[in-house]
Amino acid sequence: MHAPRIPRRNAVLAALAVAAIASVAAGCGGSSSSGSSSTAASTATSGTQSTAQTGTSTGTNATTVLNVQASASELAFVPTTLSAPAGRVTIRMTNPSQLSHSIALAVSGVTPGPVVGNGGVSEVSATLAAGTYTYYCTVPGHRQAGMTGTLTVH
């Protein structure tokens, strides 16, 4: 007696479904409300703390990408507080303001992101140990006027 034959199209669809389920399962379990997962993909657009991040994970060389915006009406970042796990961190700042802004980390040897105009994106990256760090705008007078934020690395 022969086993029933599954049409090739159905076999391909079943294989794709299994692969999709496996990839979703591989990404599960690393997310927490503190933003410690480098594979989380959420966005926070208001409030004072952000765990908004998108990440790329390549084994132990994961990068956590945190998103902030320059305020459209003040010399400020939104949000003013970020959180990330220790390791490679990138802060990506979008600029909806009519003023030019940048993003930098107050860490020796870390190159600030470029100054960008309206609609631009500035990024700064560093490998960080657990601790508290300041991010700020490098445009003269902006940091002094309060365009700063706090990054907590755990």
The number of folded domains in the chain is 1
Residue 52 lies in a domain: yes
Mean pLDDT per 10-residue segment, the chain (154 residues): 48 42 37 33 34 44 94 97 98 98 97 98 98 98 98 98
Residue 6 lies in a domain: no
Q: Do residues 111 and 99 touch, judged by C-beta distance below 8 A?
A: no
Long-range contacts of 140-149 (CB under 8 A, 24+ apart): 142/75, 142/101, 145/75, 146/75, 146/76, 147/70, 147/75, 147/76, 147/77, 147/101, 148/77, 148/80, 149/68, 149/77, 149/79, 149/80, 149/81, 149/82
Q: What is the CATH number of the domain that holds 61?
A: 2.60.40.420
Residue 7 lies in a domain: no
Residue 126: domain span: 33-153
Residue 39 lies in a domain: yes
Residue 88 lies in a domain: yes
For residue 60, what pLDDT is reported? 57
How many whole angstroms separate alpha carbon 82 and alpha carbon 121? 18
